[in-house]
């Protein structure tokens, strides 16, 4: 649609009018700084010598201050912001223990991993899981904007897109990870391993289904290989199943299933091949 020509002053007036109707959205830089500080507190020593208890306490208190400021800016209520911050900080030890299990699972599954520290410090999948577990807790507290903003920060930094509403069990392992998409109402059990390019998505994206379960359930100890697409809120992948690469699944599978495509190999002899499908890009 063609916009009318506006003077600079009229354009600024239009933006000001629209701003007055918009809620506050937390700054991306502040949100990124918050999540990076949490990651640093939990997993990364920033000094060549061992950290002191005093240094860790300072980091811990700084995280509380930053989170309370982010929440206060969105809910416009100091008491509510303090309450939400206290509730989140009370869950941080549980989040940490769960993340340690995630790191152990990645280290166990990946023969290229040389240590737990390498997993925590360098693996994008582990970083994305860390951000998700933090964002999911804030999502469960029904805070606006901030959980989605944190998820998008992880997405932009790792290429892994996990909606903060997704429920993910313990010992979750992401290998490589680029291109993974996990939708809002996905439910993932314990001990699940997912490779790059996997989608847990919805079949119907109509707005009228926004409050329904649109994304699949993956039960315990499932392995989903790269490029697999699993769709639908009624789709359940039974425990201890293996979903092969590049498959398209829209129906439930029983426990201990193996789902895969079988490649057909033809050896060229004297007889001519059938005409292949030619693509011109």
pLDDT of residue 281: 42
* Parallel/antiparallel/unpaired status of strands 167-168 and 187-188: parallel
| In a domain? residue 50 | yes
Residue-wise DSSP of 237-260: E-TT-EE-TT-EE-S-B-TT-EE-
Residue 123's CATH number: 1.10.3130.10
| pLDDT averaged over 10-residue windows placed end to end, the chain, 281 residues | 74 87 77 94 74 89 95 90 97 97 97 94 96 98 94 97 98 97 98 98 81 95 98 97 96 96 76 56 42
pLDDT of residue 76: 83
The reply to whether 152 and 241 lie within a common domain is no
Range of the domain at 109: 20-159
The reply to whether 69 and 151 lie within a common domain is yes
By three-state DSSP, how is residue 215 classified? coil
If we measure between CA atoms, which residue out of 90, 26, 99 comes closest to residue 60? 90
Angle between helices 146-158 and 28-43 (to 10 degrees): 70
Give the whole-angstrom CA distance, residue 141 versus residue 92.
14
Give the whole-angstrom CA distance, residue 279 versus residue 242.
32
Residue 213's CATH number: 2.160.10.10
Cβ atoms of 37 and 43 closer than 8 Å: no
Give the whole-angstrom CA distance, residue 192 versus residue 186.
13
The reply to whether 45 and 123 lie within a common domain is yes
pLDDT of residue 273: 58
| In a domain? residue 236 | yes
The reply to whether 150 and 44 lie within a common domain is yes
The reply to whether 151 and 201 lie within a common domain is no
The reply to whether 28 and 144 lie within a common domain is yes
The reply to whether 30 and 122 lie within a common domain is yes
| In a domain? residue 268 | no
């Amino acid at each position: 649609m063609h916009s009318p020509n506006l003077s600079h002053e009229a354009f600024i007036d239009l933006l000001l009018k629209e701003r007055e109707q918009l809620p506050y959205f937390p700054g991306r830089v502040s949100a990124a700084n918050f999540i990076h500080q949490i990651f640093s507190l939990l997993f990364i020593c920033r000094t060549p010598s061992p950290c002191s208890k005093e240094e860790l306490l300072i980091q811990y208190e700084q995280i509380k201050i930053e989170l309370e400021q982010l929440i206060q800016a969105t809910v416009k209520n100091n008491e509510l912001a303090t309450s939400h911050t206290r509730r989140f900080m009370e869950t941080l030890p549980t989040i940490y223990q769960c993340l340690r299990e995630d790191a152990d699972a990645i280290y166990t599954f990946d023969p290229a991993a040389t240590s737990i520290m390498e997993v925590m410090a360098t693996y994008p999948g582990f970083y994305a899981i860390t951000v998700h577990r933090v964002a999911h807790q804030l999502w469960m507290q029904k805070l606006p904007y901030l959980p989605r903003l944190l998820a998008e920060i992880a997405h932009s930094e790792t290429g892994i897109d996990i909606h903060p509403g997704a429920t993910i069990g313990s010992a979750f392992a992401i290998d490589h990870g680029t291109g993974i998409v996990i939708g809002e109402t996905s439910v993932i059990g314990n001990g699940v391993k997912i490779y790059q390019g996997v989608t847990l998505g919805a079949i119907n994206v109509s707005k009228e289904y926004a409050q329904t379960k649109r994304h699949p359930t993956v039960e315990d100890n499932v392995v989903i290989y790269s490029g697999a697409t699993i769709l639908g809120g009624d789709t359940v992948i039974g425990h201890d199943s293996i979903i092969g690469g590049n498959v398209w699944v829209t129906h439930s599978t029983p426990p201990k299933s193996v789902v895969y495509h079988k490649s057909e190999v033809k050896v060229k002899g004297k007889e001519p091949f059938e005409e292949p499908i030619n693509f011109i890009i």
